[in-house]
């Protein structure tokens, strides 16, 4: 790990500021870790995954979500269960594990867990620290040694604590960093027995009242005696220069790699002249429409839901496009990066690198680079201003020789600037009427590229 330093038991990367106390400190790092480090991690047995448990209204056996209502952290006899409550922010429905007031409404100034691991602790006006606590009770004796592994916490200015039963075994003060990388952590807990309770708590840092938290991930693992797992893996936020697969809440890429392999097999079997590649917007292309429109070119759709630019770079560099003769690659990517705090300049930088990767793997192919599609209720939504900035810069990547830029976004917008629910029912993904417009807008350009020598 470049720039690694050891201070007071913490494993730190440069630009990270952490402090800690107590005898058993967390091992902490802060940058993307190569997938090669997962070799030893995959030998362990997964006991429980926080990111999966907190994303369910009925957590798996062993899990509970609590808070120290009386302010006494470290004494579980005073903990109170958080209640799962349906929420609606006007754009989408979700749920929150939180605290209810006397009227049954969710209290905004209390600890909470939300799906995908958004966690918050608070310090009230009384000065007491209230933690959001994720507790897992061992359902069986460990065969080896239990680790809290692949821990990530992102975007927080908070205190992170790990307890075994009611004994504090690790603590770290997490600072929000400008580089937006998560703090990574892991902790060996030893040969635990059935009934032992592991608690990971997120609470306030400093003495000022307010809300403190971020996005949390960790996995409870059982490793053979003496086995040391690989370094924790960055799950939550990758630099735009990274080339990494998608990872699940447990830090593994097993499911994603299987999906990637299936797509590679399809490419080798069909030997396409036309390839579509991107995220879920591309993945949802209706297969019948694709075949009816471009069937003679044996099209293959390589869209995968949830992909960031960095994930597509990884797929291209670890794929098989170089083993077939693809005439045209249609590329649409970047909207998921915008939703995760990437700047327009970073998105363009990543797409530029992706184009170079495509040239490297399939140098004879032309690339039809599509502008990021508008999203939201209308083109006046703030995110669409950033999309316009990106598309203006993407246009400069087109040389009309190997890279051809095309922005079809205006064809998916109504004359008054609104985005119809017929075209984008969820304000992001395109439905069949939108794909019909897409074909009409893209077809002439794509036909010319496919028919050219």
Residues belonging to the active site: 280, 426, 429
In this structure, what are the phi and psi dihedrals at residue 9, rounded to the nearest 5 degrees?
90, -10
Helix, strand, coil tally for the chain in percent (to 5): 25, 30, 45
Q: How many Cβ atoms are within 10 Å of 271's Cβ, its own excluded?
A: 12
| Separation CA 234–CA 246 (nearest Å) | 10
Residue-wise burial string across 117-149, b where 16 or more C-beta atoms lie within 10 A, e elsewhere: bbbbbbbeeeebbbbbbbbbbbeeebebbbbbb
Is-contact 156 200, C-beta < 8 A? Answer: no
Q: Which tokens belong to 316?
A: 């291209």
DSSP annotation of 206 reads S
Q: Helices 432-451 and 287-294 meet at what angle, rounded to 10?
A: 30
Distance CA 442, CA 66 (A): 52
Question: CA angle, corner 345, sides to 306 and 431, nearest 5?
Answer: 35
Q: What is the dihedral of CA 145, 147, 150, 156, to 10 degrees?
A: 180
Q: In what order do the strands lie in the sheet with 300-303?
A: 300-303, 274-278, 328-332, 366-370, 403-406
Q: How far apart are CA 318 and CA 305, in angstroms?
A: 18
């Amino acid at each position: 790990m470049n720039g690694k330093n050891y201070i007071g038991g913490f494993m730190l990367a440069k630009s990270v500021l952490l402090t800690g106390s107590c005898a058993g400190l967390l091992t902490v790092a802060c940058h993307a870790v190569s997938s090669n480090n997962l070799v030893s991690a995959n030998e362990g047995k997964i006991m429980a995954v926080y990111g999966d448990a907190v994303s369910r209204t009925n957590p798996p056996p062993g899990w509970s979500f609590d808070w120290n209502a009386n302010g006494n952290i470290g004494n579980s006899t005073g903990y109170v269960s958080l209640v799962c409550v349906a929420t609606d922010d006007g754009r989408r429905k979700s749920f929150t594990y939180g605290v209810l007031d006397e009227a049954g409404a969710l209290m905004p100034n209390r600890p909470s867990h939300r799906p995908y691991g958004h966690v918050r602790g608070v310090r009230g006006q009384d000065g007491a620290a209230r933690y959001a606590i994720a507790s897992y009770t061992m359902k069986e004796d460990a065969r080896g040694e239990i680790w809290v592994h692949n821990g990530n916490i992102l975007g927080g200015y908070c205190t992170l604590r790990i307890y075994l039963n009611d004994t504090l075994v690790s603590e770290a003060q997490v600072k929000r960093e400008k580089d937006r990388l998560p703090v990574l952590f892991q902790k060996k807990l030893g040969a635990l027995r059935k009934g032992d309770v592991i608690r990971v708590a997120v609470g306030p840092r400093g003495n000022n009242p307010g809300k403190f938290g971020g996005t949390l991930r960790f996995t409870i693992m059982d490793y053979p005696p003496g086995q040391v797992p690989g370094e924790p893996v960055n799950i939550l936020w990758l630099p735009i220069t990274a080339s990494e697969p998608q990872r699940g809440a447990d830090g593994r890429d097993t499911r994603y790699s299987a999906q990637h392999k299936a797509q590679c097999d399809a490419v080798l079997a069909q030997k396409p002249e036309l390839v579509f590649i991107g995220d879920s917007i591309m993945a949802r292309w209706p297969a019948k429409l694709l075949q009816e429109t471009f069937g003679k070119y044996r099209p293959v759709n390589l869209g995968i839901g949830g992909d960031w630019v960095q994930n597509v770079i990884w797929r291209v560099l670890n794929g098989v496009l170089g083993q077939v003769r693809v005439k045209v690659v249609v590329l649409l990517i970047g909207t998921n990066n915008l939703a995760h705090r990437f700047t327009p300049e970073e998105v363009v930088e990543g797409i530029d690198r992706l184009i170079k990767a495509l040239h490297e793997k399939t140098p004879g192919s032309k690339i039809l680079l599509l502008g990021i599609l508008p999203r939201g209720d209308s083109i006046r939504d703030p995110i669409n201003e950033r999309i316009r900035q990106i598309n203006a810069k993407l246009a400069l990547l087109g040389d009309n020789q190997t890279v051809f830029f095309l922005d079809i976004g205006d064809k998916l917008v109504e004359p008054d600037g609104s985005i119809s629910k017929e075209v984008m029912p969820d304000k992001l993904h395109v439905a069949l009427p939108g794909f019909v417009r897409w074909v009409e807008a893209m077809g002439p350009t794509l036909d010319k590229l496919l028919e050219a020598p």
